[in-house]
Amino acid sequence: MIRSLLLSLLLALLPWSVWSNESNGDRSVKAVAFPKGKTETVIEGRIKGRGYVDHTLRASAGQTLILQLNSSHRAIYFNLLPPDSSDNAMAIGEQSGNRFDGLLPDDGVYTVRVFLIRAAARRNETGRYTLKVVAGGTALKPIAASKDALVGGTRFHAVANVKCAPAYTQTRECEAGAVRRSFDGTATVELRWDKTWKRRILFVKGEPKAADVPQPMTFTLNERGWVVSFGGDESFEIPEPLVFGG
């Protein structure tokens, strides 16, 4: 009951562009383009009403991303969406002062969604913004299949069913897959449940370093592996062989 009420409250507070699929007609998509030889750019844009802009950027696990949004309207914010996500954010500008500076957990297209919060969108307000984007770090490439065989039909070097306790569900077992990036415990672990939801956690040399959720990450290590938690609301048990192999 408590989780249902919390979920209802969360949906009520989300910006129009995030919770309403009906707003897709107001979506603009613009790929982030860096000047030749540069890894930094500043983008200028304009938001009106329920319209929103998705700035897309292809990046890899292990790279870093810095975002800074400034605007003429205090109701303009951004969310950072991980690859393959249509609305679930890994960073929420309204909570972080419209800034993100972090390590990326997986490979794919990341989306910086810029929007007006619902109240301003309903009033059809307008504002301009600048978005600074800085990409850095070194990509952690997956181990070649010739050196660490992939599970058939997947991108994973290993799969398993693991104990988990995601938020807003009674599910207690998740599907897990590991993209190993080194034999030293560097890997992206993807967790899936209820056929829809997933989390991705980047391990670097045997330690969880980044994830695709806005909640703070903590972990404990035991003889079986890691218990990784997010904001005290959910947890996942990651067995050591999944990350290291063997």
Q: Which residues of 226-245 are buried (b: 16+ CB within 10 A; e: fewer)?
A: bbbbbeeebbbbbbbebbbe
Residue 25: band (very low, low, confident or very high) from pLDDT cuts 50, 70, 90: low
Name the residue among 121, 114, 98 with its Cα closest to residue 48: 121
- Tell which phi-psi region holds residue 230, choosing left (phi > 0), alpha (psi between -120 and 50) or beta: beta
Mean pLDDT, rounded, of the chain: 91
- pLDDT-derived band at 189, boundaries 50, 70, 90: very high
| pLDDT at site 184 | 97
Q: What confidence category does residue 17 fall into, taking pLDDT thresholds of 50, 70 and 90?
A: very low
Outline where 118-213 has alpha helix (H). 118-122
- Between 4 and 210, the higher pLDDT residue: 210
pLDDT (tens digit, 9 = 90+) per residue, 35-69?
Answer: 999 999 999 999 999 999 999 999 999 999 999 99
pLDDT digits (tens, 9 = 90+) for 70-94: 999 999 999 999 999 988 999 999 9
Confidence grade of residue 33 (pLDDT, cut at 50, 70, 90): very high
CATH number of 2-137: 2.60.120.380
Vertex 113 angle, CA 109 and 59, to 5°: 20
Q: Is the pLDDT of residue 11 over 70?
A: no
Q: Tell me which residue has tokens 């205090």.
A: 74
pLDDT at 5 over 90: no
Tell me the pLDDT band of 24, cut-offs 50, 70 and 90. Answer: low
Percentage of the residues of the chain whose pLDDT score is greater than 70: 89
Q: What is the mean pLDDT of residues 156-182?
A: 97
Mean pLDDT, residues 99-124: 97
Q: What is the pLDDT of residue 10?
A: 42
Q: What is the pLDDT of residue 244?
A: 96
pLDDT digits (tens, 9 = 90+) for 191-223: 999 999 999 999 999 999 999 999 999 999 999
Q: Which residue has the higher pLDDT, 75 or 12?
A: 75
| Residue-range domain boundaries for the chain | 2-137, 158-244
Contact in structure between 1 and 8 (CB atoms under 8 Å) = no
Residue 240: helix, strand or coil by DSSP?
helix
pLDDT for the residue numbered 232? 86
Side chain identity, residue 137: G
* Single pTM value for the model: 0.89
Query: For residue 160, what are the β-bridge partners?
Result: 176
